[in-house]
Structure 1
């Protein structure tokens, strides 16, 4: 009997505890529903941001939002707010593109919620974005200009490689009809042609940027920002070309020019001999310069000149009408080699390798310094007896055809007796061209013997396809 009593007592205690617990839970719940039960609208998902010019674009998706009529974006703990109307489409899921405007240049934490007509809000979703402004823009620089070339009418401007944040570059100039022209160079291109440009008027350029790089080809910003306009500095040495004059001399012309700044310049002279294009290159920083252009055809003809600096900027070519004093290609039938520093005897074949291959009248055969058993260093030379005294206007040399590894600097010496030598000076040669290269001698000296000297080059070896002499027999 006592056991039944204790069991009943325990049952009453459990029922009382359960009643009290339920009462406590109802009190907790009442705290949240005292103003009515909370209703949440559909949440905006998959947020991403795109920075812009004092604005940010927020993209996202909302699904099943039949009761939603606006999207609310807040930032800075609610101090900033912008509301976007929302109209449900016929699709279950809608994409959103919300552009928050009038933002100061800064980074932001945006809270994005949806709201229905009764004012019910969704759970907020967070997105981080940056608005850019004048502080960012003022630090931008126009795309680099590597060099330019001007032919007297058109200017080609070569730019540095575009970066992933750069977009188009605008170039603004005035043409010879006094019209302002603006042309755009896209990031993937490096050069732009300014047609009929007036170099006496300012040439300006600026580059557009985006703050962040594209991700898998999709832009991450919605606006471009332009750098300040910069002025293209046209090198002053263009006036040097206008100072060039030619005077006729034996076998060619004497060229004179004025270079007031004393800049290190490269003068390239191009002309035609018997239908073959000839090129002569002169490196000089002389304020009042002069040089001889030799080995030319008889009669009136066109010669053109370009001038360039060490940075690749160039002017020209400019055409000149000239009439040189005739000189002739000297006959080689009596020429002999009487001295040489080195030759490759047999390793290049029956003709090639020997010094005699340089005076045999065939540019396709060649002299080669020794490589079998030894490879003596620069300088290398061979000496020629022309059989009688000749008046020398110029030397013409041809590299070993198709081979650009030979000497890049040469010199010539002359003698009347083969023992006492007069140095005519050093000449630079282009080892990358098969064309004949002229080394003109201003004094037009008389000599029976000459010595060809290879002064320096990229390896120990020197080689030469042919050497000619222009002058008078």
Structure 2
């Protein structure tokens, strides 16, 4: 009886095994119907690089001489590119461009196809296309300052924006030759060899939105002179001869303390002083008009405080090229503001530059008006030992 039971149990096990085999075959049957599936080789590597309304696909494929096409799909298959390949039995690297792409990010599906129509397993990757929106966000790197040197001109730049890779500059040198320069974004100054004083540059900025982007985005060319920037002229100056200068007008003085004409006597020990007597005090400003006798182009402004008494602080300078001074009326002439000086609490002559815009216009005049605008102390106390200017005698080496 026991033997019959064992035989029966063995029969059940065999029947169960046959049933299990049938189930496994059923599972694989769908995959082998019509024969074995053959795949073309996959790319070893693919990666995508951003561009301007395009994306660059880079690939590396090994031992695939029968592969004849690379198929690329995007936008859920609505976009596609079939590109023929010629591969060897070794390792091949190459790139193709997917053009006319809208500005956005894309997910790509890539497969290889051999000469028999077999396709590889699919590989995916991500890339971005940039266009008008990115372009509209860009602005040129601005110039901070332009100076003139013995070697030409120097441009100093503001801080670089994100994505900036370089600036491009072009100008005409002193020999009349066109010069083209490039300056990397990490630099903040650029020497322009042979740039001529008074000359301008044209410049633009180059950007890439991603590292290794295949296309560079440029801002429009800009002329520096249209932004009020040029390589400054070189001015040769000397102090004006004040021997014949004449004081024509003043509106405040204490003659017992210091006469107004003392500001022109070339004596540091003498000085003009405002009226500080009780009942006669007058607050700033104090005005003087001087006839320089010659029409001068003024390059620097000079003033000297009363020795060891530093009352006056701010002085503004104006010049007039009118034929004559309107007697008694300091506002009767046409005056051009040429600059100011802020006197420090120290002895000796102090100098200040005439404003650049006035120098560039080469403004000249015979009459000089100075207005003492502020003091270091009480609002009615003012004192000056000397007033003078430096005149321009030559511009860029050429005598006036």
Question: How high is the TM-score relative to the length of structure 1?
Answer: 0.49
Q: CA RMSD in A?
A: 4.8
Residue 230 of structure 1: aligned partner: 222
Question: How high is the TM-score relative to the length of structure 2?
Answer: 0.57
Q: 1:240 to 1:168 in 2, by over 3 A?
A: closer
Q: In structure 2, which of residues 132, 135, 138 is the aligned counterpart of residue 137 of structure 1?
A: 135
Residue 351 of structure 1: aligned partner: none
Q: What is the CA-CA distance between 1:146 and the residue it aligns to?
A: 0.5
Q: What is the CA-CA distance between 1:235 and the residue it aligns to?
A: 3.2
Q: 1:256 to 1:441 in 2, by over 3 A?
A: same
Contact 1:69 1:85 (8 Å CA) reproduced: yes
Q: What is the CA-CA distance between 1:308 and the residue it aligns to?
A: 5.2
Question: 2:11 matched to 1:12?
Answer: yes
SS at match of 1:22: helix
CA distance in 1 between partners of 2:339 and 2:238 (Å): 10
Contact 2:147 2:155 (8 Å CA) reproduced: yes
Question: 2:38 matched to 1:39?
Answer: yes
CA distance in 1 between partners of 2:117 and 2:103 (Å): 31
Q: In structure 2, which of residues 155, 158, 173 is the aligned counterpart of residue 157 of structure 1?
A: 155
CA distance in 2 between partners of 1:94 and 1:86 (Å): 10
Residues 206-262 of structure 1 deviation map (CA, whole Å, 9 limit, x = unaligned): 2110102x4xxxxx31111012333433439999999x9985214699698789xxx
Q: What is the CA-CA distance between 1:158 and the residue it aligns to?
A: 1.9
CA distance in 2 between partners of 1:283 and 1:229 (Å): 41
Q: 1:135 to 1:238 in 2, by over 3 A?
A: closer
Q: What is the CA-CA distance between 1:65 and the residue it aligns to?
A: 2.1
Q: What is the CA-CA distance between 1:128 and the residue it aligns to?
A: 0.8
Residue 92 of structure 2: aligned partner: 94
Residues 313-360 of structure 1 deviation map (CA, whole Å, 9 limit, x = unaligned): 9968x9x9xxxxxxxxxxxxxxxxxxxxxxxxxxxxxxxxxxxxxxxx
CA distance in 2 between partners of 1:283 and 1:237 (Å): 28
Contact 1:109 1:126 (8 Å CA) reproduced: yes
Q: 1:290 to 1:59 in 2, by over 3 A?
A: closer
Residues 88-144 of structure 1 deviation map (CA, whole Å, 9 limit, x = unaligned): 3353x3333232222111101111221111221212121111011111112111012
Contact 2:197 2:234 (8 Å CA) reproduced: no
Question: 2:32 matched to 1:26?
Answer: no
CA distance in 2 between partners of 1:161 and 1:5 (Å): 97
* Gaps in structure 1 of 5+ consecutive residues: 215-219, 260-266, 271-281, 297-304, 321-409, 412-421, 426-438, 444-473
Residue 74 of structure 2: aligned partner: 75
Q: What is the CA-CA distance between 1:31 and the residue it aligns to?
A: 1.0
Residue 166 of structure 1: aligned partner: 164
Q: 1:314 to 1:136 in 2, by over 3 A?
A: farther
CA distance in 2 between partners of 1:70 and 1:29 (Å): 30
